[in-house]
Amino acid sequence: MDIVQIVGVGIVAAILSLIIKQHKPEIAFLISIAAAIFIFFIIADKLPYIVNVFNDIINKTQIDTVFISSLIKIIGVAYITECASQICRDMGENSIASKIELGGKVIIMILGLPILKALTETILQILP
Amino acid sequence: MNIDIIFKIAAIGILVSVVNHVLTRAGREEIAMLTTLTGVVIVLLMVVNLINDLFNNVRSIFRLY
């Protein structure tokens, strides 16, 4: 049922921003930002279920929970970075968008360092 | 979180553009520019509040502290 709501909001917001784009392009872009955020709120109350299922699965195995929590953090950072860079690209600011993506990559790299370290340690243990 | 925020922003946009046209016809470009500025500032405040809610929501869901 929610998909109908998402599609409705998206189409209505697109038409509204098209109407206003000829006269006031800045307000048209603000409408598209508001629509993007609103669509995220529609799916926001479903995401915790996914996260909880991930945690339950990981708790059953003996894998350390640090990995799954940093994985979820990485997904969050990736989502925000992609959202912001798409909005900047909509406004025609490609350079700002690529800088945002660069920042996101660096933050994700930092979040992923402990996983990398653990991976190398296990590999070294396996090797004779 | 309801839909009328998007309609409110669209209404402000249309209102500002109409007032802008009327004022430019009446020969007061500077007042028209000021009304455009206030319209954009109002809409920006609303969108900034939305973005704030978005970030709080994402932070709580993905545990990004």
Query: What tokens were used for B1?
Result: 């979180």
* DSSP letter string, A77-99: HHHHHHHHHHHHHHTT-HHHHHH
Complex ipTM value: 0.86
Average of pLDDT values for A34-46? 89
The reply to whether A30 touches chain B by the CB within 8 Å rule is yes
> Do A106 and A99 touch, CB atoms closer than 8 A?
no
Q: From the list B1, B6, B54, which residue is nearest A31 (CB)?
A: B6
Q: Which residue in chain B is spatially nearest to A45 when comparing CA positions?
A: B61
Nearest-CA distance from B28 to chain A in Å?
18
CA distances B48 to A24, A31, A121, B24, B41, Å, are 18, 12, 45, 30, 10
C-beta atoms of B47 and A75 within 8 A: no
Residues of chain A contacting residue B43, judged by C-beta atoms under 8 Å apart? 27, 30
At A7-24, the pLDDT tens digits run 999 999 999 999 999 888
The reply to whether B12 touches chain A by the CB within 8 Å rule is yes
* Half-sphere exposure (Cβ direction) of A102: Cα atoms closer than 13 Å: 6
Count of domains for chain B: 1
Cα–Cα distance measured from residue A83 to residue A77, given in angstroms and rounded to the nearest whole number: 10
Q: Which residue intervals of A1-128 are DSSP H helices?
A: 2-21, 25-44, 47-60, 65-90, 94-126
Nearest-CA distance from B44 to chain A in Å?
7
User: How sure is the predictor about A105, in pLDDT bands with cuts at 50, 70 and 90?
Assistant: very high
Q: What is the pTM of this model?
A: 0.84
Q: From the list B6, B59, B64, which residue is nearest A13 (CB)?
A: B6
Average of pLDDT values for A80-103? 94
Domain encompassing residue B22 = 4-62
